[in-house]
């Protein structure tokens, strides 16, 4: 684990056409912290994630993770710095089994060479087994054993959410970005997610950044909360502070006069 | 129904975990090995040709079925393979070296095509690969000093390590050997990171990228491997044809390969083989049809492309999973008898996808 890296986002902005989707956003996430981003629909929460994942090119600002300048890296190298993520609308490999999906999660840590793979050299076999061990740990942690050989296309929604979380964990990240981990889940499943997030934080020592609408979950796990609206930061602070903040209440509930 | 108890990680790596599969594949392999004893030379030659198309089909399957990159230009790689091999052989390069060089060249050209096509999707990719095919076909026809132009090019006799392989059974075993190598290699590929990155690119480029898959490189690799395998099929095809002409490697040939993998079942190696069997049996069925149909219909030109097109359409509408998918359903029916239900294979409700960031 590469714990100990701080994510610092400075003056981040991006324009879509003439719209400032994210404008001058700055925040820090310290190692071991659970940091939640909240805000109404269209506030720019997922856009911030996509910027950190390097799927979008920011128009201004900087993103630093420990000693790495993320803006200098292409999207597929971000995971090498220790950042993994999930997606708001599940992005799994539909036709593959759960196990294969999780093994793709190990991709950043496997060195492949097409010719060696074609011949399936002994060292390729050994590497497969070695990475399988790691994957099995994650399967145990998230209780996915029963689904191991199922195709994703055959899984129910809740299980897919878990598989996506597991796949991100297989990359052994130092920081995990969760885009609405509880969306579409029932109360019971949401509670489970809460417990798993606690486990991930304590047992694996992973820093968590999450976008979430479920304020109970946020209150339960988050150390700090950032509220944004129209791409601008409204408040950063403890969950209670942010909930009490006037600007935040105004963004969610409208004018209070 | 057989329940698998997995006790070691190796159990997931092994091919054919089920006993029934082992027996079936064993029977097929036994038949293929014993074929020269069972079949006359003519049918042996046809079977060899079937194997060559199976190899080419696996080549295209890796690209289109597994990586999701459509290519209507794969006849070009058959052509490059066949011509390059014939030219090298006629300049006195030994067979074994020529095979390696031809496969490598074809792979490199494939990678170059993949490099330029790695940002393209779907329809645009189909057009780009089609244009590539036109280019190669024209080149093969116009470069007379090298390829003999439209007049054609004779392929030197088959000679491996100085031993002449003139009999049908010798050539057949050569085809069979390369078929085994390619099937095994392709199957290997999909239990390793390279193959999984291909599947990942097919199903979700977005998350593949976020998990550390270099999507462009994966596509280039897929194009390269696919072209190399198809080029190898071209080498073997050259010896079956004995005389090469540019118009053999036309759009229709590409369509034939596409038909094979779509009808066989996209995304599965057995699918490519089923497809090759179907494509090889079609001309037989067609000659039979010509006798049965009234002359006004039966003697009509273009019956074959019509049949090809019709079969593709029928499969896309009624069985998008192809013959392989149908076979899986049939097997499932027997394994779970009498519990099979019509809805067993109906897709569940599909969920929203993130808007693709293309």
Contacts of A120 in chain B (CB under 8 A): 188, 191-192
The interface residues of chain A toward chain B in range 181-240, judged by CB-CB distance below 8 A, are none
Specify whether A180 is located in the same domain as A248: yes
pLDDT exceeds cutoff 90 at B113: yes
Residue B88's pLDDT band (cuts 50, 70, 90) = very high
Specify whether A185 is located in the same domain as A131: no
Specify whether A4 is located in the same domain as A68: yes
Contacts of B200 in chain A (CB under 8 A): 93, 96, 104, 107
Which residues of B make CB contacts under 8 Å with A? 9-10, 12-13, 185-186, 188-189, 191-197, 199-200, 202-204, 206-215, 221, 224-225, 267, 347-348, 351-354, 357
Taking the C-alpha atoms of residue A215 and residue B252, their distance in angstroms, rounded to an integer, is: 60
Specify whether A136 is located in the same domain as A197: no
Specify whether A16 is located in the same domain as A32: yes
CB contact under 8 A, A103 and B207: no
Average pLDDT of every residue of chain B: 86
Is the CB of residue A34 less than 8 Å from the CB of residue A208?
Answer: yes
**Which residue in chain A has the smallest CA separation from B8?**
A129
Q: Look at residue A197 and tell me if it is in a domain.
A: yes
Q: Look at residue A183 and tell me if it is in a domain.
A: yes
Rg (CA), chain B: 21
Burial grade of A13 (CB within 10 A; 0-12, 13-18, 19 or more): middle
Quick: pLDDT tens for B347-357. 554 444 454 44
Q: Look at residue A71 and tell me if it is in a domain.
A: yes
Q: Which single residue is written with the structure tokens 């979430």?
A: A212
Specify whether A242 is located in the same domain as A119: no
CB contact under 8 A, B9 and A89: no
Strands of A68-69's sheet, edge to edge?
Answer: A19-29, A7-16, A60-65, A68-69
- pLDDT for res B2: 62
Last residue of a domain, one of A171, A192, A214: A171
Is the CB of residue B57 less than 8 Å from the CB of residue B273?
Answer: yes
Last residue of a domain, one of A142, A171, A200: A171
- pLDDT for res B1: 52
Residues B39-341, CATH architecture: Orthogonal Bundle (1.10)
Each residue's pLDDT expressed in tens, for chain A with a length of 257 residues:
445 889 999 999 998 888 888 999 999 999 989 999 998 888 888 899 999 999 999 999 999 998 999 999 999 999 999 999 999 888 899 888 999 999 999 988 887 788 888 888 888 888 888 898 889 999 998 888 889 888 888 888 888 888 999 999 999 999 999 999 888 888 888 888 899 899 889 988 899 999 988 888 898 899 999 999 888 898 899 988 888 888 888 888 776 55
Quick: pLDDT tens for A149-203. 888 888 888 888 889 999 999 999 999 999 998 888 888 888 888 998 998 899 8
Residue A100 in contact with partner chain B when CB distance is under 8 A: yes
Residue B87's pLDDT band (cuts 50, 70, 90) = very high
**Which residue in chain B has the smallest CA separation from A88?**
B354
Is residue A36 within a helix (H) or strand (E), and if so which, with residue range? strand A34-38
**Which residue in chain A has the smallest CA separation from B207?**
A91
For residue A57, what are the domain limits?
1-82+173-257
Which value does ipTM take for this structure? 0.88
Q: Look at residue A90 and tell me if it is in a domain.
A: no
Specify whether A40 is located in the same domain as A62: yes
Q: Which single residue is written with the structure tokens 């109360």?
A: A187
Specify whether A145 is located in the same domain as A196: no
Q: Look at residue A149 and tell me if it is in a domain.
A: yes
User: Which contacts (CB < 8 Å, 24+ apart) does range B276-281 have?
Assistant: B276/B50, B276/B51, B276/B53, B276/B54, B276/B56, B276/B57, B277/B50, B277/B54, B278/B311, B278/B323, B279/B53, B280/B46, B280/B49, B280/B50, B280/B53
* pLDDT higher at A253 or B24: B24
Q: Look at residue A208 and tell me if it is in a domain.
A: yes
Size of interface A-B (CB pairs under 8 A): 134
B4 vs chain A: nearest CA distance in angstroms? 11
Taking the C-alpha atoms of residue A21 and residue A61, their distance in angstroms, rounded to an integer, is: 14
CB contact under 8 A, A104 and B203: no
Specify whether A167 is located in the same domain as A180: no
Specify whether A15 is located in the same domain as A130: no
Specify whether A146 is located in the same domain as A178: no
Specify whether A243 is located in the same domain as A256: yes
Is residue B22 within a helix (H) or strand (E), and if so which, with residue range? helix B19-38
**Which residue in chain B has the smallest CA separation from A90?**
B353
pLDDT exceeds cutoff 90 at B197: yes
- pLDDT for res B222: 95
Last residue of a domain, one of A120, A148, A171: A171
**Which residue in chain A has the smallest CA separation from B356?**
A91
Please enumerate in sequence order all residues whose Cβ is within 8 A of that of A248, keeping only pairs 6 or more positions apart, or say none. Answer: A227, A234, A235, A242
Mutate which of A91, A158, A160 to test chain B, going by most B C-beta atoms within 10 A? A91
Taking the C-alpha atoms of residue B225 and residue B22, their distance in angstroms, rounded to an integer, is: 27
Please enumerate in sequence order all residues whose Cβ is within 8 A of that of B206, keeping only pairs 6 or more positions apart, or say none. Answer: A55, A87, A91, B354, B356, B357
* Total domains, chain A: 2
């Amino acid at each position: 684990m590469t714990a100990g890296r701080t994510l610092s986002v400075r003056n981040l902005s991006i324009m879509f056409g003439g719209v400032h989707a994210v404008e001058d956003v700055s925040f820090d996430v310290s190692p071991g912290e659970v940091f939640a981003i909240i805000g109404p629909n269209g506030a720019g929460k997922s856009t911030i994630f996509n910027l950190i994942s390097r799927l979008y090119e920011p128009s201004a600002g900087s993103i630093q993770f420990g000693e790495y300048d993320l803006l200098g890296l292409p999207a597929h190298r971000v995971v090498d710095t220790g950042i993994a993520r999930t997606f708001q609308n599940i992005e799994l490999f539909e036709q593959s089994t759960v196990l294969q999906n999780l093994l793709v999660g190990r991709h950043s840590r496997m060195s492949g060479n097409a010719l060696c793979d074609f011949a399936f050299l002994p060292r390729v076999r050994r590497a497969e087994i070695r990475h399988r061990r790691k994957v099995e740990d994650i399967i145990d942690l998230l209780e996915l054993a029963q689904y191991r050989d199922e195709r994703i296309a055959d899984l129910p929604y809740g299980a897919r959410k878990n598989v996506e979380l597991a796949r991100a964990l297989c990359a052994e990240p130092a920081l995990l970005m969760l885009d609405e981990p509880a969306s579409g889940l029932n109360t019971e499943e949401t509670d489970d997610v809460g417990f798993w997030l606690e486990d991930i934080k304590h047992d694996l020592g992973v820093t968590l950044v999450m976008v979430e609408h479920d304020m109970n979950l946020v209150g339960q796990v988050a150390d700090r909360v950032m509220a944004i609206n129209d791409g601008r930061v409204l408040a950063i602070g403890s969950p209670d502070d942010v909930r009490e903040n006037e600007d935040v209440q105004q963004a969610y509930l409208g004018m209070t006069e | 129904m057989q329940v698998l108890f997995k006790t070691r990680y190796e159990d997931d790596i092994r091919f054919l975990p089920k006993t029934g599969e082992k027996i079936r594949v064993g029977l097929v392999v036994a038949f293929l090995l014993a074929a020269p004893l069972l079949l006359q030379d003519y049918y042996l030659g046809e079977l060899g040709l079937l194997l060559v198309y199976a190899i080419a089909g696996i080549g295209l399957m890796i690209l289109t079925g597994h990586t999701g990159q459509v290519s209507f230009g794969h006849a070009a790689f058959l052509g490059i393979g066949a011509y390059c091999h014939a030219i090298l052989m006629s300049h006195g390069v030994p067979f074994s070296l020529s095979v390696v060089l031809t496969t490598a060249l074809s792979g490199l050209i494939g990678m170059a095509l993949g490099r330029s096509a790695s940002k393209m999707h779907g329809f645009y990719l189909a057009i780009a690969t089609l244009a590539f095919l036109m280019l190669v076909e024209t080149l093969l026809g116009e470069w007379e000093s090298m390829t003999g132009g439209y007049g054609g090019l004779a392929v030197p006799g088959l000679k491996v390590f100085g031993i002449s392989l003139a009999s049908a059974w010798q050539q057949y075993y050569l085809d069979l050997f390369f078929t085994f190598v390619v099937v095994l290699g392709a199957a290997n590929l999909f239990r390793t990171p390279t193959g999984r990155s291909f599947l990942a690119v097919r199903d979700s480029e977005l998350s593949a990228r976020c998990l550390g898959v270099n999507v462009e490189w994966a596509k280039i690799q897929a194009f390269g491997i696919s072209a190399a395998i198809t080029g190898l099929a071209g080498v073997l095809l050259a010896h079956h044809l004995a005389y090469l002409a540019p118009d053999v490697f036309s759009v229709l040939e590409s369509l034939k390969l596409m038909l094979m993998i779509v009808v066989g079942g996209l995304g599965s190696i057995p699918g490519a083989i089923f497809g090759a069997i179907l494509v090889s049996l079609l001309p037989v069925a067609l000659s039979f049809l010509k006798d049965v149909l009234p002359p006004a219909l039966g003697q009509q030109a273009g019956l074959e492309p019509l049949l090809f097109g019709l079969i593709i359409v029928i499969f896309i509408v009624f069985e998008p999973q192809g013959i392989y998918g149908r076979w899986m359903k049939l097997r499932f029916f027997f394994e779970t008898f009498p519990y099979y239900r019509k809805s067993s294979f109906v897709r569940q409700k599909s969920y929203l996808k993130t808007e693709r960031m293309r």
